[in-house]
Structures are given as structure tokens and as C-alpha cells.
Amino acid sequence: MNYNEYIAEAERAILALCKRLNRYAHKLTAEELRSDAECTRLGLTEPKAVTAVIDHVKVKLQRGVKPFENEVIFNTGPHHDDIMLGIMPIINRQLRCPSNEVHFGIATSGYNSVNNDYLSQAIADTLSYLRQGEIQMVNYPDFFEQGYRLKRDKDVYHYLDNVAGKNSHEMRRGFCHRFLRNAVGIWHPNNLDGLVARFEAAQQLLANEPQKAHDDPELQQLKGMIREFEEELVWAYTGVSVKNVHHLHLGFYKDSHDFPNRERDVEPVLQQLHAIKPTTISVIMDPMDVGPTNTHYKVLQTIAKAIEAWNEEADLSQLKIMGYRNVWSTFALEEANIIVPVSLNNFAVIEKAFRDSYLTQVEAEFPNPNFDGTFSELSESIWVRQLKDVQLLLGKDYFYENQHPLIRATHGLIFLKQMNVEEFLHVADQMKH
């Protein structure tokens, strides 16, 4: 057993003993340590051995307050909202430093998370705004040829301006502007009458043949683009432009035959890596059979294949891979090598941003069976639980008396596993078995 393996087992054993006795680590006695079989096996029989474990956890936390500077960061997620639910407090710090270039890559369209009722209501609202003359862009001479492609950032800004102004009517109008642009891009009608006819036909299909509507490729695309807008809204909270939010549409989401397929699945990720040239990549690290589908695991394996291919072309010795998890699985403390503080400000931002932006997920199609609430609240509950574990090892006073303001402001913790390319590819391969 090497040192890293030993200290991981020591952390696990000491934390388990603290939980069992409901005792802080620094108060454990030699007698209590010797009475625990796992601590005895590891030679953790004296209080000074506990001190080494405590110091190791402190190092992880110190890594978590280190700022991001002069980085090109590519945050990836399987679905729209996965990045937010896993690491939004970290991303907010990435975005505070203007020397960083921050990108987001969402692997799948996520159309399965938008139900027929939501799509039908979106169509009804858009038709209502059109009939009231509140979507004027359709009157521009070139709108149906090329104008619909423009001002996508304006849709986001209009929506968020009215989040600030608490104007729900204008928020919905901003949503319908983007929804209409997307519909024109999918159906390519020649004029407003043609667009209205397509909307009305879609309404009839949704009402009369819901399963056929669910399977319709164009309506699936329209649903997916609703989720894309939601993702753009969330990162625009901190000034991210639409061009930095990349929707990869990996093909396995529709057809997972021959997974991962190089051309269908891996190439879109590899092309993005070539274009962005990140110095840090965040990747979700969920194992197989976690959550309602295996999408998280498949995205992990696809990104691993893309990084493996990129590694054959370029020197990636300095590339950092930041593994994270969110609401479907979590890292144990001993698995994480970075611990990131989460403040009450972070809690407030994620709560509001989730409710204002991920409108399709406030009443999720795939809720977590173990939690009655929004996914953002579930993330927060995980971060709080992880803080309680670390407090058992470090003591509460370590936080509220700390010299670092980020640590003093801590009311939750995020666990990360940072790896180099070789380590990441090894872990991804091990997760196949």
C-alpha cells in the first residue's frame, strides 16, 4: 500500500469512528482508537496519528480556496444543469478573474427532460405574443431567411433584465423570442403564416397523439433547444456569452449502438478540445447505473476517449482534469483531493438561478427518488452533509476562526478529484469494470 492509498484509508477509518462515536477527531482517545478494528489494522492507535489525518484534510481545503488565474477552462456536463448542480460555486470563482477564459460543453440535447405539456404551453404562449403584436422581429424583411439567427445574446439579456425587474410577462416574452427563433431554424417556414401553421400542427399532434409527438425528431430538437436556452441563461448570470456555451449533441443520446462511436460521439468533443485548447477540464465522474439512465457514465467515457486521442497529438502534461459529481452520486472524503468551500452567497445564487433559468426542471421529469425538492436544493443538502463530515475531523472552530474569509464563510463543501491525463484515463478505464 503506497502513502496515498494509506492516507485515504486512514481518513475513511477516522471519519467512520468519529461518526460512530459522535466525537470530534481531536477528542479521540488512544483507547477509542485501539478499540476500533479498522484503526488498529492501519496502525492508527495514538492521537498523533489522527493529527496527520487532520493535517491532510486541511491541505485539501487549502487547495480548494486557491484562485483560478490565466486558465482556459472547459467545464463539461452530460445534461443542461449538471455542471451547475455539481460545481457552480467553483465556476463563479473562475469567472471573477478576467484572465480566465471559461467555456461550457453540454454533451446531450436533454430533450427527454422536457415533457409534452411544457412544449405545448411554450407554443401557446408564443402564438399569444404573436397575436398581440409583441414579437416584432418577425416583421423584419429578412427574418425568415437569416435574421432569426441573430441577437441570441439579446434574448438572454432581455430575459435576465426582467428577472432583475421581477417582470414575469417580459421574462416569458424573452423566452418566446428564443423559442420562435429556434422553431424557424428547425422548420424553415417562408413567412409568418407558414410558421403559425407549423405551430398549430404541432399543437394538434401534442394533444391528439402524445407518443408520436414525443418521438417526433423535430419536436425533440425543439425541446432540446429549450434546455440550451436554459443553460445559456444560467451562465449569463455572470456574464458568459452565448458563444462560450457549446451544445455538442452527441449522437449516442439517440442511438447508443456501438458506443462510444469515434465519428458520432468522440469527434465532436475532440473538435471542441482542438478549438478551445483548455488548460483545465471539468468532467462528471459518475459510475455506470447511476441515475435514471447511463448518460453520465457514457459522457465520461466519451470525454476520456477524446482526451486520449488529443494526448496522442499534443503535449498534455500540464492539463488538469477536475472530476466532480452532483445529485446522483457523491465522492467519499477519501476519494477527493480538493475540498471547495461553499458560502451562503453561493447557496442563494444557485437557488435563484435554478428556479429562474431551468424552468423545465422545477418540476423535473426525472426527480431524485430520495429527495422531495428541486435538484438545486438536493445539491445544497449534499454540500451541507459534506461539511458536517469535515467538521468532525477539523472542528467547527477551524472554520469560524479561520484567517481566510472564504473558509470563515463556509456553510457547505464540494468534493473534487483532480487528476492529470494519465490518472484520469486510468480511473475512467477502471470504472468500466
The pLDDT value recorded for residue 20 is: 97
Sheet strands side by side (includes 245-247) = 245-247, 101-106, 72-77, 280-284, 320-324, 410-419, 338-343
| pLDDT for position 407 | 97
CB 127, CB 270: distance < 8 Å: no
Collect all residues with Cβ–Cβ distance below 8 Å to 313 and sequence separation of at least 6.
none
- The closest of 106, 94, 87, 91 to 415, measured between CA atoms, is 87
Determine how many CB atoms are found less than 10 A away from the CB of residue 308.
17
Give the CA distances from residue 363 to residues 71, 108, 160, 375, in Å, rounded to whole numbers and listed in that order: 36, 20, 21, 10
Number of residues that make up the chain: 433
Provide the sign of the torsion angle of the four alpha carbons 276, 277, 278, 284, taken in this order.
positive
Predicted local distance difference test score (pLDDT) of residue 200: 97
* pTM assigned to the model: 0.94
**pLDDT value for 374:** 83
> Look-up: residue for cell 476500533?
36
CA neighbor of 26 nearest in space, from 17, 37, 38? 17
pLDDT averaged over 10-residue windows placed end to end, the chain, 433 residues: 89 97 96 96 93 96 96 96 96 94 94 93 97 94 94 95 96 97 97 97 97 96 96 94 95 83 94 98 93 86 97 97 95 97 95 91 63 83 97 97 96 98 97 85
Q: What structural domains does the chain harbor?
A: 3-61 (no CATH), 70-108+248-430 (3.40.50.10320), 116-223 (no CATH)
